[in-house]
Amino acid sequence: MPQMSPLVAGDPTQLGSFRLSGRIGEGGQGIVYLGVNESGEQAAVKLLHVKFSGDTVARSRFARELKAAQRVASFCTARVIEADLDGDTPYIASEYIDGRALRDIVESDGPLRGTVLDRLAIGTATALVAIHHASIVHRDLKPDNVLIASDGPRVVDFGIARIIDSTGTITSRAIGTPAYMAPEQIAGDDVGPYTDVFAWGATIAFAATGTSAFDGNSIATVLNKILNHEVDVGMLPEPLRGVVRSALAKSPAERPSADQILLRLLGQPEHAGASTDVLTRGVQVASDDTTPFMRVSPSLAERATTGTGATGHPPHPEAAGLALGETGSGPYSEAGSRPYPGTGSGPYPGTGSGVFQVVAGEPRAVAPARGGRGTRWAVLAGAVALVAAVVAAVVLKGWPVALGDPGPDPTAGTGKPPEVYTSVMDKIGKSGKIVIGVKDDLPGIGLLRDGEFEGFDVDLAKEIAAKLGAAETKFVAVSRANRADKLARGDVDLVVATYSVSGEDVTFAGPYYLAHQDVLVRQGPIDELSDLKGKKICGINSPSVGMVQDKKVEVEPVPAGDYAECMDLLRSGEVDAVPGEDLVLAGFAAREHQRYKILGARLSDERYAVGLRKGDVKTCKAVNGVIADLYRTKAVHRLLERHFGTVEFATESKVPAMNDCG
């Protein structure tokens, strides 16, 4: 954890929902405090120096840039939680990352080498892809804005430089730290994603050498080197050397995109942009700095992405540029026994304790490559290795149980022990299968009809499973009473069933949707909550009835056993409204011939989350990334339209704040 100093006279003690406990640091943009909200969530709260008083144009630009920053998917980035525009000096609260700045690590422990440097490059490139996919340009990427946490590098402060620039108090020419500015920034030309690519190259060069790529005794010297001097990257191994060299090209047109950088570093073809699968793979590689990983030539990767090898069969993981048995975050497979499913760019995590190569059909251990690294990183690597050893020992003793029944055990009758998986991602990597629990009695959400599951939850679960790399998805009906037990026992791998109730053996990714307690009415004169005064409301067992009355709206409850009965009463006019969660109400209303609407009272927030076994951090983070991307690509919006489009109500379309997987 970075050094924190106490608050001083004049410091605020509360900003928005965050109570401030101390100073984390201070820079040219503002003071950063450590804050915590009522739910215990920590944030790095940056109080900006820029004044917005009376500047409506600046506020408008600030809001627009902030909204874009909140769209950034959480791949190796620190998500933006909240911000305030009302004070004279606005603030931004971002996810708190417990880690050290890259600059501090290099200056105290020395340059990075080998696997550590590779994973830094991949993690920061992954973050840039996520940032650029949200139409954000960082503008101030540098070693100070890369934090090294226990789960890998994180890029912070994206978009803040642009927000400051939007006030007009600082010109575009001045945005950025001199030694990491691109030539176009110095010249005052337009900046774009290519500007961040240049800064990325300079940051990686600093990490590899311990000195700035454009060092000098004065700003004039630094700027002159940026404009006219080439950087010596000869100390870097390939492919990193070539990628960094091209990133530092003086002309923006000659630089690769962040997508191309990530694909090259992962050994993937560059026919298209980096998909969610590629981003997930980048996160996985960056989160484990203890094991080398393998790359392949683009020709092999291209063959892997077709789903078949030269023989017409699915490719072996080697053909996807992946290392076998990669500890913690890499893929593992019994050599030749079961080829991986998928596209060659998806996530393939696993449990091996070393690196394996397949020679003549048999796996053989390969000694990990050695490379210099700082003392602190070596300690971290030892800690991770120790955890991996403990996990391996526990697995050998029979825990955890195999997640979600994958079907007949291929080892039955062979004398081999049955497959045991340490995470859902491990299971997907080994078997290509996943079992998901869904509701079977909620129309529009999760309904079993004619032997098939259908609904919003079901279709969303299919999207999540596919992006996690599953080739086969099985659905199992779960109820409120048994879903936690089924998950804890391993009967199902994930639960996507309006699920947000905590349990001892359960954790949550997402939420995949932010629903609300609300009220359903017929199209007509009832337009707001107050119009229900004196009206009849279906008295189903729902907290919404009490919430309506808490709003000082006197209603007459009419007893009913379930939502089907409520809909009968609403259709016949015996009640004027049905209370409940808006998505559930819309599901029942969407199958009616009459037109209905949801008032938009939003009496409470209901976080529909993905349930998974407690401790499966790897899968939780992967699911969070997938959900964020489904919102970014409007896939969630399209599913909402498909299932609830005939009902008038305002669905949530922005990325919800993701649960902490830690």
Q: What is the pLDDT of residues 344-382, one digit of tens each?
A: 333 222 322 222 222 222 222 333 333 333 434 343 444
Laid out side by side, the sheet with 446-449 consists of 441-442, 446-449, 452-454
In percent, the amount of the chain with pLDDT more than 90 equals: 28
Q: Is the pLDDT of residue 503 over 80?
A: no
**Could you tell me if residue 7 is inside a domain?**
no
Q: Give the Cα separation of 78 and 581 in Å (integer).
A: 31
Q: Average pLDDT of the chain?
A: 74
**What's the confidence (pLDDT) of residue 542?**
65
Mean pLDDT of 148-165: 68
- Of the listed ranges 57-71, 102-116, 129-143, the least confidently predicted one is 57-71
Provide the pLDDT confidence category of residue 53 given band limits of 50, 70 and 90.
very low
**What's the confidence (pLDDT) of residue 293?**
55
Assess whether 183 and 44 both reside in one domain.
yes
CA angle in degrees (0–180, nearest 5) for 261-97-292: 45
Provide the pLDDT confidence category of residue 562 given band limits of 50, 70 and 90.
confident
Tell me 5's DSSP state. Answer: B
Assess whether 23 and 160 both reside in one domain.
yes
pLDDT in tens, 578-609: 999 999 999 999 988 888 999 998 888 888 99
Top mean pLDDT of 95-104, 173-182, 410-419, 630-639 is at 630-639
Q: What are phi and psi of 338, to 5 degrees?
A: -155, 105
The residue ranking higher by pLDDT, 545 or 399, is: 545
Provide the pLDDT confidence category of residue 339 given band limits of 50, 70 and 90.
very low
The dihedral formed by the CA atoms of 8, 39, 656 and 1, expressed in degrees to the nearest 10: 50
How many folded domains does the chain comprise?
A: 2
Q: Give the Cα separation of 125 and 146 in Å (integer).
A: 11
**Could you tell me if residue 380 is inside a domain?**
no
Mean pLDDT of 162-187: 59
- Of the listed ranges 75-79, 109-113, 351-355, 623-627, the least confidently predicted one is 351-355
The residue ranking higher by pLDDT, 112 or 68, is: 112
Contact 20, 7 (CB under 8 A): yes
Assess whether 190 and 231 both reside in one domain.
yes
Q: Give the Cα separation of 342 and 467 in Å (integer).
A: 9
Q: Is the pLDDT of residue 445 over 50?
A: yes
Q: Which of 36, 34, 50 is nearest to 84 (CA)?
A: 50
Q: Give the Cα separation of 466 and 345 in Å (integer).
A: 12
Q: Which of 538, 498, 543, 514 is nearest to 650 (CA)?
A: 514
Mean pLDDT of 116-120: 91
Provide the pLDDT confidence category of residue 460 given band limits of 50, 70 and 90.
very high
**What's the confidence (pLDDT) of residue 64?**
61
Q: How many CA atoms lie within 13 A of 463 on its CB side?
A: 24
Mean pLDDT of 532-547: 81
Residue 600 tokens, joined: 């938009």
**Could you tell me if residue 446 is inside a domain?**
no
What is the phi-psi region of residue 510: left when phi exceeds 0, alpha when psi lies from -120 to 50, beta otherwise? left
Contact 352, 324 (CB under 8 A): yes
**What's the confidence (pLDDT) of residue 457?**
96
**What's the confidence (pLDDT) of residue 172?**
34
Beta bridge partners of 44: 34, 94
Assess whether 261 and 284 both reside in one domain.
no
* Amino acid in position 467: K
Assess whether 203 and 222 both reside in one domain.
yes
Range of the domain at 299: 276-366
Contact 263, 270 (CB under 8 A): yes
Assess whether 259 and 298 both reside in one domain.
no
**Could you tell me if residue 61 is inside a domain?**
yes
Mean pLDDT of 148-154: 83
Provide the pLDDT confidence category of residue 117 given band limits of 50, 70 and 90.
very high
Q: Give the Cα separation of 635 and 484 in Å (integer).
A: 28
**What's the confidence (pLDDT) of residue 63?**
63
Mean pLDDT of 405-420: 54
pLDDT in tens, 569-579: 999 999 999 99
* Of 344, 366, 388, the domain-final residue: 366
| Residues near 136 by beta carbon (within 8 Å), at least 6 away in sequence | 65, 68, 69, 71, 72, 158, 159, 162
CA 289, distance to chain mean position in Å, is 20
**What's the confidence (pLDDT) of residue 511?**
92
Q: Is 342 exposed, middle or buried (0-12, 13-18, 19+ CB in 10 A)?
A: buried
CATH of the domain at 49: 1.10.510.10
**Could you tell me if residue 167 is inside a domain?**
yes
Provide the pLDDT confidence category of residue 321 given band limits of 50, 70 and 90.
very low
Q: Is the pLDDT of residue 188 over 50?
A: yes
Assess whether 114 and 134 both reside in one domain.
yes
Contact 626, 517 (CB under 8 A): no
Q: What are phi and psi of 452, to 5 degrees?
A: -120, 140
**What's the confidence (pLDDT) of residue 310?**
30
Provide the pLDDT confidence category of residue 66 given band limits of 50, 70 and 90.
low
**Could you tell me if residue 178 is inside a domain?**
yes
Q: What are the residue numbers of the active site?
A: 140
Mean pLDDT of 309-330: 29
**What's the confidence (pLDDT) of residue 222?**
87
Q: Give the Cα separation of 636 and 128 in Å (integer).
A: 23
Q: What are phi and psi of 608, to 5 degrees?
A: -80, 105
- Of the listed ranges 55-59, 398-402, 520-524, 607-611, the least confidently predicted one is 398-402
Contact 158, 27 (CB under 8 A): no
**Could you tell me if residue 381 is inside a domain?**
no
pLDDT in tens, 25-35: 776 567 888 88
Q: Give the Cα separation of 141 and 130 in Å (integer).
A: 14
Top mean pLDDT of 7-16, 216-225, 362-371, 457-466 is at 457-466
Mean pLDDT of 643-662: 86
**What's the confidence (pLDDT) of residue 502?**
54
| Residues near 376 by beta carbon (within 8 Å), at least 6 away in sequence | 100, 105, 108, 109
pLDDT in tens, 242-259: 999 999 999 999 999 999
* Of 324, 342, 366, the domain-final residue: 366
Mean pLDDT of 96-105: 87
Residue 122 tokens, joined: 């991949």
3-class secondary structure for 36-47?
ECCCCCEEEEEE
| Residues near 130 by beta carbon (within 8 Å), at least 6 away in sequence | 72, 73, 74, 75, 76, 77, 279
Contact 216, 181 (CB under 8 A): no
pLDDT in tens, 250-291: 999 999 999 999 999 988 877 667 777 777 777 778 776 555
pLDDT in tens, 206-228: 999 999 989 888 888 888 899 98
Q: Is the pLDDT of residue 133 over 60?
A: yes
Which residue's structure tokens are 């079993």?
448
Assess whether 234 and 316 both reside in one domain.
no
* Of 234, 265, 296, the domain-final residue: 265
**Could you tell me if residue 86 is inside a domain?**
yes
Contact 491, 476 (CB under 8 A): yes
* Amino acid in position 23: R
Residue 117 tokens, joined: 């440097």
Q: Give the Cα separation of 171 and 162 in Å (integer).
A: 10
Mean pLDDT of 513-529: 91
In percent, the amount of the chain with pLDDT more than 70 equals: 69
The residue ranking higher by pLDDT, 77 or 612, is: 612
Contact 12, 48 (CB under 8 A): no
**What's the confidence (pLDDT) of residue 546?**
76
Assess whether 97 and 215 both reside in one domain.
yes
- Of the listed ranges 83-92, 476-485, 642-651, the least confidently predicted one is 83-92
- Of the listed ranges 402-416, 512-526, 547-561, 614-628, the least confidently predicted one is 402-416
* Amino acid in position 642: R
Which residue's structure tokens are 């947000």?
500
**What's the confidence (pLDDT) of residue 465?**
93
Assess whether 174 and 314 both reside in one domain.
no
DSSP line for 88-138 = SS-EEEEE---EEEHHHHHHHH----HHHHHHHHHHHHHHHHHHHHTT---
Interstrand relation of 452-454 and 446-449 (parallel, antiparallel or unpaired): antiparallel
Q: Which of 326, 338, 612 is nearest to 465 (CA)?
A: 612
Q: How many CB atoms lie within 10 A of CB 355?
A: 21
Assess whether 213 and 291 both reside in one domain.
no
Assess whether 288 and 350 both reside in one domain.
yes
What is the phi-psi region of residue 223: left when phi exceeds 0, alpha when psi lies from -120 to 50, beta otherwise? alpha
The CA distances from residue 525 to 157, 476, 528, in Å, are: 48, 42, 9
Residue 458 tokens, joined: 């079901």
